[in-house]
Amino acid sequence: MSEVRTKNAQSRGQSDFAQRFALLRQRRGPFCLGLDPSPELLNGWGLADGVEGLRRFCFTVLDAAADQLTAIKPQSAYFERFGSKGIAVLEECLEAIRDRESLALLDVKRGDIGSTNQAYAEAYLDARSPLKADAITVHPYLGFLALAPFVEQASLSQTGLFVVVLSSNPEGRAIQNARVSSDTSVVQSLCDAIRDYNRSVCPQSTGPIGAVVGITAEQAEETVERLAGSLILAPGLGAQGGEFAQLGKRFERAKDRVLPASSRAVLSQGPNLKPLRESIKQHREKSWEALS
Amino acid sequence: MSEVRTKNAQSRGQSDFAQRFALLRQRRGPFCLGLDPSPELLNGWGLADGVEGLRRFCFTVLDAAADQLTAIKPQSAYFERFGSKGIAVLEECLEAIRDRESLALLDVKRGDIGSTNQAYAEAYLDARSPLKADAITVHPYLGFLALAPFVEQASLSQTGLFVVVLSSNPEGRAIQNARVSSDTSVVQSLCDAIRDYNRSVCPQSTGPIGAVVGITAEQAEETVERLAGSLILAPGLGAQGGEFAQLGKRFERAKDRVLPASSRAVLSQGPNLKPLRESIKQHREKSWEALS
């Protein structure tokens, strides 16, 4: 990523996206609400499993969230289920999240060879795109260095990216724990690459490339230690088994850089606004407490 | 994937998707045309980089392809660049590909935890979805076993999936060559898992889970050997440096199971139909010859 490095080398401070995160975190706390309009949740809310149900679900959640949250994370898969009409709802949601001055963190987990990643970067991080987000999640299987177009585009548009590093699900262990050398695993090597890149462009502060680290993953703590100077998106609070105490302990070394996310545990409180709002408030406060 | 195994265990023959591929291959040969409407190609064709240019580009390619091809592979990233309007064009293209009785192989490289994969599987492999394809590409980083919802959905809808195993790009080597044990790499372990699953449901023939193996990847040959009884999607013919001789040699052991794909080398011959048709014909015939 030498070209990217040169472009960013002028600014030695915090990356633009990290700055936006830090400012919002001060006012609203570190919690990220996952917007996962799954068929199970639509059904649980008594909504039809269609585009209208999808829109109704999302805007109810966004109403309940109001301007209280640092970040809201739509899961693209649940919009893609409805094709172009679902994607049109996703566009509306991304705009509504920005209207609330929350960060729109789109969970798309894209990742391909460089030329294709360039197209994905334009789709999700270019300010002119109808699907523009403040940050997205990306896949490393085709190589950390193949992600350069995302890093470059993020630098141009003051947006961010989170590389999937360590997932909570047990099926992920085989590849993620594989050894790239006798003393380094895939997860560790990705952490090192992210940290080294961030240090090279933001030596004193938080760099532009973030990582996804599941809260309930056993090696979360050592993974976090290896990610100095990097933002961390930590899904799995609540419904996936993560707990606030675990969050505080495992992410102790990254208290001001971690963004814990929860979806089902909050969303299952709907469709009524009052319990939804109450659950959002609780998650926000408990995360803040665990990470203060 | 024990549940999936039980469901499929009744049919011990070739998987439905493999059967459809084999029948088409007999009549049309083994070539897959990549439909990559990149900004560079739109520009090279004198088209505006917008939704109308995108549609014009795609339907010119589909006109040139007529009913000559076994498979056409749109790259989703180039449609996602235009948000919901681009996805609407993708829906039209998928329908037009089916109208030509070609296999619509959508290159989306999705992959997440199981519940999210379920939603992606419905988005792309459910016959009721506006984005239904005949097969898609999927990402293994969150675990081969996390892909079970795709396998299950493919079995229900007689569609296929291709797991990204070995990419052509050099940046992919670090993770793909990592060791899951002292004598097995990530690539090898994925091949073993795919082959074993396919054997368990189709012991005498070609199973439902395919693999993506880049033609120009150095270890292509040994990877192909390890994928007995599995379909292989092999991108990289032409513009990425792959050659027909290499194709014939490296995929010798999988001559009737491999689907070589080329995009730029063909598409750069447009916008005129005559040279486009000529290039498609050449790629089709040369692939057929190399794999006969």
Name the CATH superfamily, with its identifier, for domain B2-290. Answer: Aldolase class I (3.20.20.70)
Active-site residue among A85, A109, A249, A274? Answer: A109
- Is residue A275's pLDDT more than 70? yes
Cβ contacts below 8 Å, chain A against chain B, sum to 179
- Check CB contact under 8 Å for A140 and B139: no
Residues of A in contact with B111 (CB under 8 A): 109, 139
Are B178 and A180 within 8 A, CB to CB? yes
pLDDT for A189-223, tens place per residue? 999 999 999 999 999 999 999 999 999 998 999 99
pLDDT band at A9 (very low <50, low <70, confident <90, very high): very low
Partner B contacted by A221 (CB < 8 A): no
Whether pLDDT at B176 is above 90: yes
Burial of A91 (0-12, 13-18, 19+ CB in 10 A): middle
pLDDT at residue number B8 = 46
Q: Is the pLDDT of residue B50 over 60?
A: yes
- Res. B88 pLDDT band, cuts 50 70 90: very high
Q: Which residue of B has its CA nearest to A145?
A: B171
Residue A15 CA: distances (Å) to CA of A231, A272, B141: 10, 39, 27
A281 catalytic? Reply is no
> Nearest residue of A to residue B50 by CA position?
A129
Q: pLDDT tens digit string along A34-68?
A: 999 999 999 999 999 999 999 999 999 999 999 99
Q: Where are the domains of chain B?
A: 2-290
B75 CA: distance to closest CA in chain A (Å) = 8
pLDDT for A238 equals 81
Residue of A nearest to B80 (CA): A123
Q: How far is CA A137 from CA A30, A107, A161, B115, B141, in A?
A: 18, 5, 6, 17, 13
8 Å CB contact between A229 and A258:
no
pLDDT band of residue A10 (cuts 50, 70, 90) is: very low
Residue B275 pLDDT greater than 50, yes or no: yes
Average pLDDT, rounded, for chain B: 94
Q: Quick: pLDDT tens for A96-117.
A: 999 999 999 999 999 999 999 9
Q: Which residue of A has its CA nearest to B115?
A: A38
Which of A1-5, A54-58, B12-16, B47-51 is least confident?
A1-5
A186: nearest CB among B129, B143, B175: B175
Residue A81 in this model has a pLDDT that exceeds 60? yes
Using 50, 70 and 90 to split pLDDT, how confident is the model at B1? Answer: low
Query: Would you state the pLDDT for residue B10?
Result: 43
H-helix segments, B130-272 = 148-157, 173-176, 186-201, 220-225, 244-250, 264-267
Q: How many residues does chain B have?
A: 292
Asked whether the beta carbons of residue B120 and residue A77 sit closer than 8 angstroms, the reply is yes
Percent of chain A scoring above 70 in pLDDT: 95
Residue B274 to residues B13, B63, B238, B279: CA-CA distances in angstroms?
Answer: 41, 11, 19, 9
* ipTM confidence: 0.95
pLDDT of residue A54: 98
Q: Best interface-test mutation with A: which of B78, B118, B171 has the largest number of A CBs within 10 A?
A: B171
Per-residue confidence (pLDDT) for residue A7, from 0 to 100: 47
Of B206, B267, B262, B208, whose CA–CA distance to B234 is shortest? B262
Q: pTM of this prediction?
A: 0.95
What is the distance in angstroms between the Cα of A289 and the nearest Cα belonging to chain B?
28
Note the pLDDT tens digit of each residue in B96-112: 999 999 999 999 999 99
Q: Minimum mean pLDDT among A2-11, A93-102, B27-36, B223-232: which range?
A: A2-11
